[in-house]
Chains A and B, each alone.
Chain A
Amino acid sequence: EAGVTQFPSHSVIEKGQTVTLRCDPISGHDNLYWYRRVMGKEIKFLLHFVKESKQDESGMPNNRFLAERTGGTYSTLKVQPAELEDSGVYFCASRNTGRNSPLHFGNGTRLTVT
């Protein structure tokens, strides 16, 4: 079974540019999550999809961040325009339906905004 995959693994962009991160969850997993770890701080929840619907986006920092999940398969997280404080590691995770289903994380995308 393929795991959660994220693209790219690293991205370096200038302030004001746009970046799109992609996450491919494990096939069949309805639940998809985005988390972010800013340098030296906690990993923080951004949002949760159930299939193509946003179940909870309470962690999205501001309207420069846009997440989509087309057809309930892969998801993208776009940052436009990027700011210096957006630098960090963005993790995607997926799990099956069922309260005790384990959460599977991808390797993360390291975003550096200069």
Chain B
Amino acid sequence: GDSVTQMEGPVTLSEEAFLTINCTYTATGYPSLFWYVQYPGEGLQLLLKATKADDKGSNKGFEATYRKETTSFHLEKGSVQVSDSAVYFCALSGTQGGSEKLVFGKGTKLTVNP
């Protein structure tokens, strides 16, 4: 079945450092790909998405490009801030079982120190 593998955390960076969180997927067909973020004490929020190969999703300085040839959707940010500290989840949309649903990775906890 469909699956998502993302970089194990936790990841600790200093403010203004470059961030990469790797994500690869296995899926039948052509899923949409997502990054969700969970800030402390809050629910999951959609950070960005891409619906087809070579699409680039971007939001709040974060970017990820849908790479069909490498089945990847790595999350990047050029200069992280303390406020980016959160858990990041890579996900894809699958339609197994007759219902469109999300398949998530395990999550990567990011801590950014001042």
Q: Assess whether B43 is in contact with A91, with CB atoms less than 8 Å apart.
A: yes
| Cα distance A35–B99 in the bound complex, in angstroms | 14
Interface residues on A, range: 20 to 34
| Cα distance A105–B38 in the bound complex, in angstroms | 10
For B114, list chain A residues within 8 Å (CB): none
| Cα distance A103–B102 in the bound complex, in angstroms | 10
| Cα distance A34–B107 in the bound complex, in angstroms | 18
Q: Assess whether B43 is in contact with A106, with CB atoms less than 8 Å apart.
A: yes
Map CB proximity to B onto A63-92 as digits: 1 under 8 Å, 0 otherwise: 000000000000000000000000000010
Q: With an 8 A cutoff between CB atoms, is A18 at the interface?
A: no
For B99, list chain A residues within 8 Å (CB): 48, 55-56, 58
Q: With an 8 A cutoff between CB atoms, is B57 at the interface?
A: no
Q: Assess whether B44 is in contact with A105, with CB atoms less than 8 Å apart.
A: yes
Map CB proximity to B onto A95-108 as digits: 1 under 8 Å, 0 otherwise: 00001101101111
Q: Assess whether A105 is in contact with B98, with CB atoms less than 8 Å apart.
A: no
For B33, list chain A residues within 8 Å (CB): none
Q: Assess whether B97 is in contact with A108, with CB atoms less than 8 Å apart.
A: no
Map CB proximity to A onto B74-114 as digits: 1 under 8 Å, 0 otherwise: 00000000000000010100001111111111110000000
Q: With an 8 A cutoff between CB atoms, is B45 at the interface?
A: yes
Min CB gap A39→B, angstroms? 11
Min CB gap B102→A, angstroms? 7
For A35, list chain B residues within 8 Å (CB): 102, 104
Min CB gap A79→B, angstroms? 20
List the 8 closest pairs (A to B, CB-CB), nearest first.
Answer: A56-B99, A105-B44, A43-B104, A107-B43, A58-B97, A105-B43, A48-B99, A45-B101
Interface residues of A (CB under 8 A from B): 3-4, 33, 35, 37, 40-45, 48, 55-56, 58-59, 91, 93, 99-100, 102-103, 105-108
